[in-house]
């Protein structure tokens, strides 16, 4: 289902005014499609995240943006990476994802998670709730939306959500509804929910961490009587691809310095954390790291590129990664 995806998490682009932002994002998506990416994702947030920028920087509502991108692309699958269950009533969410699937002629991916960014909840009036409550909502929403994808009407009465004789017309173009991806690396709750409800997962971490998480997912599948091979396994990370090793390191350092951080002065534990998030190097070095992730049990990789607003960088990454994965 997913072999090579591009996530677009930022809409702050040098020299691009707000009224031209969508055109640049559409160009990024089209370039990704042309250069070998099979899927394109945008974040489901209303404010920019702390590690990427300031809350007052540009951020599109994801399903509005994805539906617009569907009209500008032809082949790539489209989805949130990943959606927050707390932001929308599940009935509305089912309608939005279905609309994306119809507009894109069957290219929607429904990617969803429990949500975590409390600041935007408080600012916009969304109920944040406890960790346990958000996962209860996620599980109820999965049942409602998956039913609405395939049934003429859906009735559900839960602790958090209820729908009665809910129509979803038109139905999705994708037979059985868009594939469901659950994002997160939680071993007890998230990966159990993946095994029970999802077609795909998305996790984080370095290759040893990914291998451990895949073993945990396999164990959940075994307990639930599910064939583990029916779950598509992916990882989201940041790719800093240079034409040489030194170029890649310079790009990483420049990225950090733009956020007031100097690599050489960081504590070792922070460097280790960033190294687990970032894949850095020239084509050969990146190839080795991608192969390590595949050997750890992944079926596909999803990257964001800090310089995605530079279309040549998107094209270069697509060409290099496509070669690695074939």
Query: Minimal CA–CA distance to 228: which of 241, 216, 212?
Result: 216
Question: Can you read off the two tokens belonging to residue 83?
Answer: 């959606």
Residue ranges of alpha helices (H) inside the chain are 21-34, 62-70, 90-103, 118-124, 131-150, 190-197, 207-224, 245-257, 268-277, 283-295, 311-325
The Cβ of residue 246 has, within 10 Å, a number of other Cβ atoms equal to: 10
Query: Minimal CA–CA distance to 236: which of 302, 184, 297?
Result: 302
CA atoms within 13 A on the CB side of 211: 9
**Domains of the chain from N-terminus onward:** 4-241+278-325 (3.20.20.30)
pLDDT value for 166: 97
Pairing of strands 200-203, 162-167: unpaired
Per-residue pLDDT of the chain (326 residues; tens, 9 = 90+): 799 999 999 999 999 999 999 999 999 999 999 999 999 999 999 999 988 889 999 999 999 999 999 999 999 999 999 999 999 999 999 999 999 999 999 999 999 999 999 999 999 999 999 999 999 999 999 999 999 999 999 999 999 999 999 999 999 999 999 999 999 999 999 999 999 999 999 999 999 999 999 999 999 999 999 999 999 999 999 999 999 999 999 999 998 888 888 998 889 898 888 888 899 999 999 999 999 999 999 999 999 999 999 999 999 999 999 999 98
pLDDT value for 259: 83
Q: How far is CA 307 from CA 197, 248, 255, 275, 304, in A?
A: 35, 12, 9, 18, 9
The Cβ of residue 290 has, within 10 Å, a number of other Cβ atoms equal to: 21
- Distant-in-sequence, close-in-space partners of 19: CB < 8 Å, separation ≥ 6: none
Burial class (CB in 10 A: 0-12, 13-18, 19+), 299: middle
Query: How far, in Å, CA of 282 to CA of 308, rounded?
Result: 17
- 202: β partners: 183, 234
């Amino acid at each position: 289902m997913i072999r090579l995806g591009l996530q677009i998490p930022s809409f702050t682009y040098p020299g691009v005014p707000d009224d031209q932002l969508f055109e640049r994002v559409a160009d990024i998506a089209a370039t990704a499609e042309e250069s070998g990416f099979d899927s394109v994702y945008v974040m489901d947030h209303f404010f920019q995240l702390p590690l990427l920028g300031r809350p007052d920087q540009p951020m599109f509502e994801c399903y509005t943006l994805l539906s617009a991108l569907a009209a500008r692309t032809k082949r790539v699958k489209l989805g949130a990476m990943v959606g927050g269950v707390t932001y929308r009533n599940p009935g509305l969410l089912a309608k939005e994802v279905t609309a994306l699937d119809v507009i894109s002629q069957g290219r929607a991916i429904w990617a969803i998670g429990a949500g975590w960014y409390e600041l935007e909840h408080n600012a916009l009036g969304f109920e944040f709730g406890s960790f346990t409550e958000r996962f209860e909502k996620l599980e109820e929403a999965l049942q409602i939306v998956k039913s609405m994808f395939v049934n003429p009407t859906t009735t559900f009465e839960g602790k958090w959500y209820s729908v009665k004789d809910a129509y979803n017309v038109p139905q999705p173009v994708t037979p059985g509804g868009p594939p469901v991806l659950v994002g997160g690396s939680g071993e007890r709750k998230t990966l159990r929910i993946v095994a029970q409800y999802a077609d795909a997962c998305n996790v984080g971490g370095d290759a040893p961490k990914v291998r451990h998480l895949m073993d945990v997912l396999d164990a959940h599948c075994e307990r639930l009587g599910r064939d583990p091979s029916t779950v598509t396994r992916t990882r989201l990370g940041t790719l800093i691809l240079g034409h040489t090793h030194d170029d890649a390191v310079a790009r990483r350092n420049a990225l950090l310095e733009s956020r007031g951080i100097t690599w050489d002065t960081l504590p070792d534990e922070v460097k280790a954390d960033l190294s687990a998030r970032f894949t850095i190097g020239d084509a050969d070095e990146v190839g080795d790291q991608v192969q390590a992730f595949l050997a750890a049990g992944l079926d596909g990789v999803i990257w964001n590129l800090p310089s995605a607003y530079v279309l040549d960088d998107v094209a270069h990454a697509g060409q290099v990664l496509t070669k690695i994965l074939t």
